[in-house]
Amino acid sequence: MNDKIKIILADDDSILRKITAKNLRGCGFEVIEAVNGVEAVELSTQEKPEIAILDIMMPKLSGIDACRLIKEHPKTKHTYILFLTAKDNIRDIISGLSDEKADDYITKPFNMHELIARVEAGARIKKLQNKLEEQNIKLKASLDAQARFLGLAAHDLRSPLAIINTYMSLIGKDIIPIDEIKDTCIRRAEGMMQLIDDVLDITKINCGTVEYNPQKSNIVKTISDTVSLYEPVAENKKINLYLNTKEMTIYCNCDKKRISEIFENLISNAIKYSPENTNVTINIKKEYQYVIIEVIDQGEGILSENISKIFEPFATIESSTQKQVPHTNLGLAIVKKLIELHKGTIEVYSDGIEKGTNFTVKIPINN
């Protein structure tokens, strides 16, 4: 169907113009009629058609001049131009095709089937051009995002590297104990390695090369094992870690490794941003053809204006100290993309600073 292809048809011969317009509309094109070249240019600027059919010999402004003006305007420079011309107008045809960048022509009197065939060929070209332009826009946005992404990653690597460099320069100067220098450098190096691993993971996911091997498995068991893994961490911080579920078995078509990665991130974050003597609760339930998992903490919470960007890499999130602080946020960005691989969704709720956070994951049992 050609219902999304808009055509400006400019011809001062009203009878031929109306017959041609009727036939083109019958083929599914949207046709806007112009009685001369001036009107054709004005309508083209307003309507931004994919195709303009211009009679070369028109009053006020010829088809050749109208073509030039349409091609010069930034809004219509990619319009597909087809000339209608007399057989003896060879010089005008050559000028229009070479100098004014027209795309095709047909001589009068023309066969209506041939005209429609040429217009449909132009429509196919325009659809391909539009698709290519959309892909170029997406590619440019992707490249811009990657450049920003890599710049921010490099910035986040610079700070720990500077600290490591400073601490290493103090060795042998009896300013800081060697064990403290060692521990600090190790912690910073581990943080850098984690950032690099996260960057590699999210790059693989964006490129579609991440390993994803879904199999039928008990998702409750996978999450339960992850909770058990973090019990010592929670206990060390004096946080109560609870797992609540009425069903000990929910079989789901999922990648166990990726499910573990998702909930390792969510649970570790919940513990990290929770104060002592609070609760972190993981609720699991089956609802219709979905398994729903909640990770609820009583920690810092999130301001409502930051909810929409919580899964954006390198988002600046306002902390409980009311200051803008940078977070790489790659962990949550990876979590969201891994859940999407499972055809699932993740939502986050919070009543604000120091009101806790609820991450709700919904995964189809058969995806």
> How would you label 321-351 residue by residue, b for 16+ Cβ within 10 Å and e otherwise?
eeeeeebbbbbbbbbbbbbebbebebebebe
pLDDT over threshold 60, residue 88: yes
* pLDDT band per the 50, 70, 90 thresholds, residue 2: low
pLDDT at 133: 85
Please give the Cα distance from 277 to 295 (Å, whole number): 17
Predicted confidence (pLDDT) per residue in 266-317, tens digit:
998 899 888 999 999 999 999 889 999 999 999 888 887 778 888 877 665 5
Whether the CA torsion 182, 184, 185, 188 is positive or negative: it is: positive
Query: What average pLDDT does the segment 36-59 reach?
Result: 91
Predicted confidence (pLDDT) per residue in 203-236, tens digit:
777 777 778 889 999 999 999 999 999 998 899 8
Contact 163, 188 (CB under 8 A): yes
pLDDT at 163: 82
Predicted confidence (pLDDT) per residue in 170-186, tens digit:
887 878 888 888 888 88
Beta pairing partners, 283? 244, 294
pLDDT over threshold 80, residue 62: yes
**pLDDT higher for 293 or 133?**
293
Can you tell me whether residue 197 is helix, strand or coil? helix
Beta pairing partners, 294? 283, 360
Whether residue 97 sits in one domain with residue 151: no
Specify the pairing of strand 30-34 against strand 6-10.
parallel
Domain contains 268: yes
pLDDT over threshold 90, residue 363: yes
Whether residue 154 sits in one domain with residue 242: no
pLDDT over threshold 50, residue 326: no
pLDDT at 321: 44
* pLDDT band per the 50, 70, 90 thresholds, residue 95: low
Ordered alpha helix ranges (H), the chain: 14-26, 37-47, 63-72, 90-98, 112-169, 178-207, 219-236, 256-272, 304-307, 330-341
Domain contains 41: yes
Can you tell me whether residue 350 is helix, strand or coil? coil
Domain end, chosen from 207, 225, 252, is at: 207
pLDDT over threshold 80, residue 367: no
Domain end, chosen from 66, 92, 110, is at: 110
Q: What CATH number did the domain enclosing 250 receive?
A: 3.30.565.10
Domain total in the chain = 3
Residue 142 token pair? 């992707």
pLDDT at 329: 66
Whether residue 334 sits in one domain with residue 255: yes
Whether residue 319 sits in one domain with residue 239: yes
Domain contains 292: yes
pLDDT over threshold 80, residue 156: no
Whether residue 203 sits in one domain with residue 74: no
| Cis ω before 232 (30° cut-off from 0) | no
Residue 38 token pair? 């001036």
pTM of the full predicted structure? 0.57
Q: What CATH number did the domain enclosing 184 receive?
A: 1.10.287.130
Whether residue 271 sits in one domain with residue 287: yes
Whether residue 273 sits in one domain with residue 323: yes
Whether residue 319 sits in one domain with residue 251: yes
pLDDT over threshold 90, residue 169: no
Please give the Cα distance from 241 to 243 (Å, whole number): 7
Return the residue matching tokens 């994951």: 361
Domain contains 121: no
Residue 228 token pair? 């058990």
Whether the CA torsion 250, 251, 255, 257 is positive or negative: it is: positive
Domain around 157: 143-207
Q: What CATH number did the domain enclosing 106 receive?
A: 3.40.50.2300
Whether residue 198 sits in one domain with residue 223: no
**pLDDT higher for 280 or 367?**
280
Domain end, chosen from 88, 110, 132, is at: 110
Tell me which range, 141-145, 296-300, 317-321, is most confidently predicted by mean pLDDT: 296-300
pLDDT over threshold 60, residue 328: no
* pLDDT band per the 50, 70, 90 thresholds, residue 32: very high
Arithmetic mean of pLDDT over the chain: 84
Please give the Cα distance from 330 to 195 (Å, whole number): 8
Whether residue 348 sits in one domain with residue 226: yes
Whether residue 339 sits in one domain with residue 258: yes
Give the 3-state DSSP-derived string for 45-106, with helices as H, strands as E and coil as C.
HHHCCCEEEEECCCCCCCHHHHHHHHHHCCCCCCCEEEEEEECCCHHHHHHHHHCCCCCEEE
Domain contains 81: yes
Query: What average pLDDT does the segment 105-119 reach?
Result: 89
pLDDT at 323: 42
Whether residue 177 sits in one domain with residue 231: no
Domain contains 127: no
Contact 120, 129 (CB under 8 A): no
pLDDT at 154: 75
Predicted confidence (pLDDT) per residue in 239-271, tens digit:
999 999 988 899 999 999 999 989 998 998 899
Q: DSSP class of residue 7?
A: E
Query: What average pLDDT does the segment 332-358 reach?
Result: 89
pLDDT over threshold 80, residue 146: no
Contact 333, 313 (CB under 8 A): yes
Domain contains 1: no
Domain contains 91: yes
